[in-house]
Amino acid sequence: MIKPVKIFREFLYPSGIKCIVCDAELEKDTRYGVCPNCKLPYNENYCTVCGRAIPAQNIICDTCKNTVLPFESARSSFVYGDASATLVHKLKYRNARYLAPVMSEFMADTYFSTEWNVDAVTCVPIHKSRMRQRGYNQAELLAREVATRIKKDYSELLEKTVKTKNMVKLNRVQRMELIRGSFGAKFGAEICGKKILLIDDVLTTGATASECARVLTANGAESVNVLTFASVAATAWLA
């Protein structure tokens, strides 16, 4: 016989709920859907400008000391790697769209830990040929979910006008060169005078976010802040 307690539990926490990282059955549901064995790498010591992980004693990473960025600041919930990389990969390449609402819970928490007060939420767009291929833009899924959670409007402000090759093997300068001029403001987008929150899944060198922010600023945005699910540790990118 099933005990009433069990029935009640079953009602609150339907069985079959799985850890979003390793797919292990969860004993109970949590807001974040992660089992005790999977530890997500929280981004605790980060550069106050680009938001990438740095040694605890530092405040600004070496790149930000020598560069003027077109966005005010960037933050990310996690350091990219292990479990956080698994989630990003599933969302981006394995059609795991169901992850976007859970991942955006962490991102909304990170947003609320900042002093930002934005007017509009947008995302890093992908080229329409890639959209056809993949069927969705993972950054858009995250942006829409984050916008709901922070109670702001989501709007499509940018478009990817030029298809660019994979940047995995390129350093920051090469990425900046490759990506420059490949984004444009969407026709009729209301950008002027707006404080914009730009969303992406991962921030690596910041080249993509910088180029998007440059276009938004050139079109009159008052400010651009960047929020990503994860970012690559600044120490991993000394170039």
- Chain residues that interact with Zn ion, rule: CB under 5 A: 19, 21-22, 24, 35, 38, 47, 49-50, 61, 64
Looking at 20-73, list the stretches that DSSP marks H as alpha helix, in order from N- to C-terminal side.
62-66
Closest to 231 in 3D by CA, of 209, 212, 213: 209
- Closest approach, Cβ 3 to Zn ion, in A, equals 27
- Closest approach, Cβ 141 to Zn ion, in A, equals 21
- Closest CB to Zn ion among residues 137, 228: 228
- Closest approach, Cβ 163 to Zn ion, in A, equals 28
- Closest CB to Zn ion among residues 61, 179: 61
* Separation CA 177–CA 108 (nearest Å): 32
Strands 223-231 and 120-123: what pairing? unpaired
> Who contacts 90 (Cβ-Cβ below 8 Å, separation ≥6)?
96, 99
- Closest CB to Zn ion among residues 19, 91: 19
Closest to 199 in 3D by CA, of 104, 131, 134, 78: 104
- Closest CB to Zn ion among residues 64, 150: 64
- Closest approach, Cβ 45 to Zn ion, in A, equals 12
- Closest CB to Zn ion among residues 157, 233: 233
* Separation CA 123–CA 212 (nearest Å): 9
Q: Under a CB-based contact definition with an 8 Å cutoff, are residues 198 and 213 in contact?
A: yes
Cα distance between the two ends of the chain: 64
Looking at 94-161, list the stretches that DSSP marks H as alpha helix, in order from N- to C-terminal side.
99-112, 128-134, 138-150
- Closest approach, Cβ 151 to Zn ion, in A, equals 29
- Closest approach, Cβ 109 to Zn ion, in A, equals 19
Which H or E run contains 227? Answer: strand 223-231
- Closest CB to Zn ion among residues 38, 131: 38
